[in-house]
Structure 1
Amino acid sequence: MTDFGRARDRARAMVSNADAEDAVGALGRVGLVARGLVYLLIGWITLMIALARRSTEDDRTGALELLAGKPFGFIVLWFLIVGFACMAVWMAVLAARPDQRGERGAGARVAAGFTALFYAVAGYTTARYAVTGHARSTNQVSTDYTAVAMRRAGGQILVAAVGAGLVIGGAVMIKHGIGRRFAKDLDTGSMPAAARRPVVWLGAAGQVSRAVIAVAAGAFLIDAAVTYDPAQARGVDGTLRAFASAPLGPLVLILIAAGLVSFGAYSLCEARWRRQ
């Protein structure tokens, strides 16, 4: 093959790789918009619960129910289904090729893989809700799966290990949020100067709020394992309602609601300015 032919093949390969990366990036952006919309809704429901104005589940199920009752809600539900599917595919690609976003460690691959699984399940349950109108809250799912696990040999240890994993994962998220580690995924060079600091603050507040929920949910799982009581296990809804019943609970819940709304807004900003 001549030098010209080799150069031509290299150019074609570069164009093909660039097209593939653009396609993967587009999937991610659609998924981030869907994630942002859900967190905005969950934050709004959390605020309403803090103000004692809503009894809807304070999780993704509650967000779906809120959407379903609005004009064009059915269309938005199907956008979420597509968005969650895009997020699942995007994360699966990152798990297989973490170099897509400059992360090459095994930890990044594992985290992306679990995130892909989470959004695949989210897409499935959202689609089932859109078709049947029925969905189980995260609280019900957490209690049921904990009960099933604890009836098996070693189930208590497994439940405690999952709880410990949530606590540790939440602590890492707090560290990353406070340290602004997530900001490396943003293409700050293309952002208006006035937007950089507010966007990073939105991300930090959102990461810390999500981490607090994860730590609390993990603690409830550990309590369920120690007391051998599956009813102690709680999903997002039960965890947030536990905050509401604690001293200064409404104030804490308002702060968490603000953080969840912040993460929803950050997700929309990340969809716009995420580094390819």
Structure 2
Amino acid sequence: MNTSAMAQGGRIRARRAARGSAIEGAARAGLAARGVIYLLVGALALQIAFGDTGEQADRGGALAALAQQPFGAVLLWALGIGLAGMALWRLSEVLFGSVGPDGRSARKRLLAAARFAFYVFVAYSVLSFAARRGGSGGGSSDRQSQDATARALEMPAGQWLVGAAGIAIVVAGGWIGVRAVLRKYHDKLRLGQMSPRTRRLVDVTGMAGGAARGLVFAVAGVFAVRAAVDYEPDRAKGLDDTLRSFADTPLGPWLLVCVAAGLVLFGVFSFAMARWRRV
């Protein structure tokens, strides 16, 4: 191999390494940003469980709470940029595949595409909120869910579309919860870099946090199905109303306390993923 070819190969490897480092940094920033949101939502839900109903336990409420902190504007911009990094990472998985033996499969790329679209929306909403330096954070998640459901119901076969979407959310919630309980996230973590105690703590946060997150998704999906069956958009619920519904069960606010604590644990688990996830 001549000197020119060797230099060209070196430049290609350098570009790949730089791209890999940039994507890894974006992924870890995004996971940390996700952790912040879940910590705040869980904390707000705990306040609701103990009688403080003044804030919304959803992304809008979390952003409003963050904006009230010292250097709130800086924190909001950092959060939005971190979530944009998450979207960039998911886009890279669509284009180049993800880690794991089946990382380049069509199924994994499709999941990555869905996550990319979701995090683009979330990052946009956070950055828009930061640019406005306040406001509604994009509006109540409950109002957004009801408006979207109403528009969908007006479409041809709208009831079927909303019902199918609700069922899909229920299935996704069950999938999230079951995978968490079975500790499927082990496949994505650098377990060898953890001490036994750290691994146990990560398992507590991953299992309990993932189960709580999956339960919230599933219950939100059930409300969407009810809205479709009854043809009543107001029956659809966003994150805030979904969490409040746990307090209306026979277990009272204690079920909400457990779910809220689980969301806090999932926030902590997201920080662990930011530290030890294989990207």
What TM-score comes out, normalization by structure 2 length? 0.93
| Counterparts in 2 of 1:172 and 1:14: CA distance versus 1, 3 Å | same
Which residue matches 2:17? 18
Which residue matches 2:173? 170
Report the Cα offset of residue 100 of structure 1.
4.4
Report matched runs for 1:20-169 at 5 Å: 20-100=19-99, 102=101, 103-132=103-132, 133-134=135-136, 135-169=138-172
Matched letter for residue 65 of structure 1: A
Report the Cα offset of residue 13 of structure 1.
3.0
Unaligned ranges ≥5, structure 1: none
Report the Cα offset of residue 112 of structure 1.
1.5
SS at 2:247 equivalent: helix
Q: Mean alpha-carbon deviation: is it higher for 124-133 or for 238-247?
A: 124-133
Distance across 1 between alignment mates of 2:148 and 2:108? 27
Which of 184, 189, 198 is equivalent to 1:186?
189
Matched letter for residue 188 of structure 1: L
| Counterparts in 2 of 1:231 and 1:271: CA distance versus 1, 3 Å | same
SS at 2:278 equivalent: coil
Distance across 1 between alignment mates of 2:3 and 2:184? 44
Which residue matches 2:251? 248
Unaligned ranges ≥5, structure 2: none
Distance across 1 between alignment mates of 2:41 and 2:123? 17
Matched, 1:232 2:232: no
Matched letter for residue 256 of structure 2: L
Report the Cα offset of residue 16 of structure 1.
2.6
Contact kept? 1:101, 1:275, Cα under 8 Å: no
Distance across 2 between alignment mates of 1:257 and 1:85? 26
| Counterparts in 2 of 1:107 and 1:206: CA distance versus 1, 3 Å | farther
Which residue matches 1:213? 216
Matched letter for residue 131 of structure 1: A
| CA shift digits 1:198-220 (9 cap, x unpaired) | 11221111111111011101100
Report the Cα offset of residue 55 of structure 1.
2.4
Contact kept? 2:81, 2:127, Cα under 8 Å: no
Matched letter for residue 20 of structure 1: R
| CA shift digits 1:205-238 (9 cap, x unpaired) | 1111111011101100000000000000011111
Which residue matches 1:223? 226
| CA shift digits 1:154-177 (9 cap, x unpaired) | 111110010010011111112211
RMSD of aligned alpha carbons: 1.6
Contact kept? 1:42, 1:59, Cα under 8 Å: yes
Report the Cα offset of residue 49 of structure 1.
0.6
Contact kept? 2:98, 2:108, Cα under 8 Å: no
Distance across 1 between alignment mates of 2:176 and 2:257? 20
Matched letter for residue 118 of structure 2: F
Report the Cα offset of residue 117 of structure 1.
1.2
Instruction: Detail structure 1 runs of 4+ shifted over 6 Å in the superposition.
Output: none
Distance across 1 between alignment mates of 2:73 and 2:248? 34
Report the Cα offset of residue 97 of structure 1.
1.9
| CA shift digits 1:221-269 (9 cap, x unpaired) | 0000000000000111111111112211311111111111111111111
Contact kept? 2:58, 2:240, Cα under 8 Å: yes
Distance across 2 between alignment mates of 1:192 and 1:13? 37
Matched, 1:268 2:271: yes
| CA shift digits 1:108-131 (9 cap, x unpaired) | 222211111111111111122223
Distance across 2 between alignment mates of 1:15 and 1:71? 40
Report sequence identity in percent.
37
What TM-score comes out, normalization by structure 1 length? 0.94
Distance across 2 between alignment mates of 1:203 and 1:116? 22
